[in-house]
A = this chain, B = another copy of it.
Amino acid sequence: MAVSIKEIARMCGVSEGTVDRALNNRTGIKEETKKRILETAEKMNYRPNHLAKALATGHTKTIGVVCFNIIDSFFSSLIEVIENTAKEQGYFIILILTKSKKAKELEAIKYLAERKVDGLILFPAVKGTTYANMLKKLDIPIVTIYNRISDDFIHIDTDCASIMSEAVSFIHSKGYDTVAYLDIDLRGDIPKDRNVYSFGERRKGYIRGAEECGLTQIIFDGFDKDRILEYIADTPGKKALLCAYDTFAVRVLGLCRQHGYKVPSDIGLMGYNNMDVLDDIYPRLYSVDCNIRMTGRIAFCSLLAQIRGQKDVGDSKIECNISYGESL
């Protein structure tokens, strides 16, 4: 159906090699022949077949992106940046969403390998040596983001622990006597190979921050309305709630509204990720701006560097900062 190099060659009375030279402006071809070939190609509406090219050259100019979901605006923003950056460099992305399911993640990686993607950007929901070994055997450049797998894989993210600990002292510096932490449920029932690195780091940061500020540690494992309300009602003095991510903070905001508590006068509130939507919510929540743009760009660039065989590629800690709000 589609016209191939072979036909162009036949039509121009030259060999396939010559057509290839013309089409990909390689050297060793007479200007005149080249022109003639290009004209016929144009006229015949020639379109290269990327599959054949990829099979012959061994690279697809495609990277696989394996992520949890894109409903969460943190991930969608990040992936948007990755896509943009990749495109600028002539790379396409195959996107696979795993809903944080181990089986889906493993399958995704397997299929992407079969498709010979040049590299992989992974938001891993899995960890462990079996997993790591499988990835190594793939022999594909990999960059991890958000959750870390091991030191064998380049990891790009903000230093969650540090910024979270900064967040605690920031809140403390605003005169709060108590700073509780609302986290996902990180207690025992998590499978050994479930990767919750990012949340783990954030919690470490909270703990470290609380220690440094001499604050009592209060951690809520999961969004438990009653315990949160109790905390607001029963804690004496100025109290705040630091959340492991914005969505929790926004939900707490709703809870407060329902129960007649005012933010920040009854309870100070701070999130993490600085989702775009915070700009549209009142009061504007304090949050941690994770510098998504930079994270995405660096993730892709580190991957590209690996693809190009650079040996000195290493992890990157992305700078981030506390974004302004009215909730403290």
Contacts and interface: CB of A to CB of B under 8 A. Distances in A.
Contact of A277 (B76, B83, B115, B277): B277
Interface stretch (A16-24, A88-96, A123-131, A307-315): A88-96
B95 A83 contact: yes
Interface SS of chain A: helix, strand, loop or mixed? helix
Interface string A266-283: 000000000011001110
A222 interface: no
Interface residues on A, range: 35 or more
A83 B60 contact: no
Given A70-B80, A251-B280, A55 B62 contact: no
Nearest to A87: B96
Interface in A99-140: 110-111, 113-116, 137, 139
A52 interface: yes
Interface stretch (A41-49, A155-163, A190-198): A41-49
Nearest to A277: B277
Contact of A51 (B54, B79, B137): B54
B94 A92 contact: yes
Contacts of A281: 280-281
Interface string A70-81: 110100110110
A71 B62 contact: no
A250 B281 CA distance: 8
B80 A97 contact: yes
Interface string A199-234: 000000000000000000000000000000000000
A254 interface: yes
25 contacts: A47-B110, A50-B115, A50-B116, A51-B51, A51-B116, A62-B94, A70-B70, A71-B73, A73-B73, A73-B76, A83-B95, A83-B96, A84-B97, A87-B97, A92-B96, A92-B111, A92-B115, A93-B95, A94-B94, A94-B95, A250-B277, A254-B280, A257-B282, A277-B280, A281-B281
Given A49-B55, A92-B115, A94-B95, 13 more contacts: A47-B113, A47-B114, A49-B116, A62-B94, A69-B80, A70-B76, A71-B77, A83-B96, A83-B97, A87-B96, A94-B94, A250-B280, A281-B281
